[in-house]
Chains A and B, each alone.
Chain A
Amino acid sequence: MSEAAAHEAIKKTIESNDVVLFMKGTAQFPQCGFSAQVAQILLHLGVPFQDVNVLEDQDLREGIKTYTNWPTIPQLYVKGEFIGGADIVREMFQAGELHTLIHDKGIPHSNHG
């Protein structure tokens, strides 16, 4: 897969899923502490999300960094918009901003607390 093809695949994924987490490993079996943390936050909020394991595809792993102009993984997308990496997601979660964002974007979630 070329970089252009990887970018096309990424675009398709974030356009067809409300919440996408590009991560190392899967939501069930994260393979990096930062990825695990963000998956945990989404699970806590009860937000359904599509996990994409970048370790399964080297082109995707590099492609997501250039697509977003963001050098690290995990990367969280909501409604096609890049929200942030682990630091930003944690900061937003602690400030209650992530819940507000999910709510404002009209994404169903089970934890309203």
Chain B
Amino acid sequence: MPMDPREIESLIKAKFPDATVEIQDLAGDGDHFAARVVTSAFKGKSRVQQHQMVYDALGGRMGGVLHALALTTQSPPD
């Protein structure tokens, strides 16, 4: 089932209000996305923790309706 990229963005921003979110629909099928998320909430967190935080924000959709989301996470430069 395809997912609207704007929904992905708003779910992430709801959890991390200061986040910069860039989403690319990789295959144009609403099913394979790449997301780059930059937020100060990631400071001091490992990559695994950062990805887990985004998956939490997506509330269980990842691995379900959201089949493929290539994720890049970063905290903003000081």
Number of B residues with CB within 8 Å of any CB on chain A? 13
CB neighbours (8 Å) of B68 from chain A are 34
A20 CA to B67 CA, complexed, in Å: 23
Give the number of residues in A that approach B within 8 Å (Cβ atoms). 15
B52 touching A70, Cβ below 8 Å: yes
Contacts of B44 in A (CB 8 A): none
CB-based contact B52/A87 at 8 Å? no
Closest to A90 in B: B70
Q: Once the chains bind, are B60 and A71 in contact (CB under 8 Å)?
A: yes
Q: Which residue on chain B has the smallest CB distance to residue A84?
A: B48
Inter-chain CA distance A92–B47, complex, in Å, is 10
Query: Is A91 in the interface zone, CB < 8 Å from B?
Result: yes
Residues of B participating in the A interface, judged by any CB pair closer than 8 Å: 47-48, 51-52, 55, 60, 62-64, 68, 70-72
The 4 closest A-B pairs by CB, nearest first: A71-B63, A71-B62, A72-B63, A88-B47
